[in-house]
Each structure stands twice: as C-alpha cells, then as structure tokens.
Amino acid sequence: MNTKQTHVPTWVVLVIGAFGFAVVIYCLTLAIGTMGCIEIAGSLLLVSVAIIVWRRIVDKRQRHENPKDYAFYLYARWGPSLRLKPMERLRRGFPERSTTDLEAWLNDFRVIDAFLASLIERACSEVLTREGVQSEVQKAFPFLQKKGLQQATFRVSYEAWHEGHPLKKP
C-alpha cells in the first residue's frame, strides 16, 4: 500500500482560493441591494473567518513542504513569540521533532544570523537590492525558500534601513 502523500502545489491552491474569493465578492456585490446590514455584516464575518482558516492551511502546507525553512521563520520572526527562547519557539512549532534535530537547526540558524549580520554590514557600505540579498541568502542556504527567506530578507532590509542605508530597488 502506498502511503506517500501527494500535495497540490501551493500556487494552484492559491489560484483556486483567489477565484473562490472573487466569486464570493461578486455574489456579495449583487446581493447588497437586497441585503440588510445584519446580512452584510454576517457575510463579511464569514469571509474574514474563511481568510483566517485559509492562511492557517497555507502555513501548515509550507511547514510540511520545507520544515527547516518554516523553522527559521519561527526562529527569526518578530512579535510576541520573540519573548520565548528560540528552542521553545521551535518546540511549539515542531512538537514531533526530537531535541537533537531542533538543536541542530538552532546551530544552523546561528550561522545564518552571522551571515545576515555580514550582509547588513555590506548593505551599509554597498548598494544592495532586495533581490541581490535574496539570491545571496539562497546561495548560502538553499533550504530557505519561502517564509524563512522572506524573514531573512526582511531582517537585512530592516536593519540596513535602521542604520540609514535602505536596500535599493533594481
């Protein structure tokens, strides 16, 4: 028995979701003339809940497609979870992983942090573009592809901007 799971590519899921969202919006615009305030508010609430659920589905999909990339995203993202220690953030995101795996990832992430710090220094003395930063990060760390790559690029961009040297547009 074949137990291998096959996944529909994320872009297909996003296109189908966008089409469904467009249909819902179109139907709402047709119905607004006949709907009262309560029905419109209920419809908007339903659409909002659908968007939140959709984002969670996409997050779970990305977490399973490239776990190390998503783990770096959890490790590096800003917000309330930043008050937790890095190991705790990874444990919450990947409860099924062993402590040894998570520690190995943390060691890799410290190397990424040092690499990003060198990129930030270069961005302060050279003209770097967002695309240039992304390509350098991907060359050095090919597993960073989606959320992890976005977080790494954001960090370099923010820190360089904070030092008065924003990344240049191509």
Mean pLDDT, contiguous 10-residue spans, the chain (170 residues): 51 71 69 63 75 74 81 86 88 90 94 90 74 89 89 86 69
- At residue 88, the pLDDT reads 92
Query: At which of 37, 65, 93 does a domain end?
Result: 65
21 shares its domain with 31: yes
Residues 80 and 98 in one domain: yes
Same-domain pairing of 107 and 134: yes
> pLDDT value at position 29?
67
**Total count of domains within the chain:** 2
Indicate if 100 and 164 belong to the same structural domain. yes
Please tell me the predicted confidence (pLDDT) of residue 4: 46
Q: What pLDDT shows up at residue 5?
A: 46
Identify whether residues 61 and 77 lie together within a single domain: no
Last residue of a domain, one of 9, 44, 65: 65
DSSP assignment of 68-117, as one string? HHHHHHHHH--SGGGGS-HHHHHHHH-TTS-HHHHHHHHHHHHHHHHHHH
Full domain range(s) for residue 85:
66-170
> What is the distance between the alpha carbons of residues 161 and 59, in angstroms, rounded to a whole number?
28
Within this chain, do residues 52 and 81 fall inside the same structural domain, yes or no? no
Q: Tell whether 70 and 149 lie within a shared domain.
A: yes
Specify whether 72 is located in the same domain as 129: yes
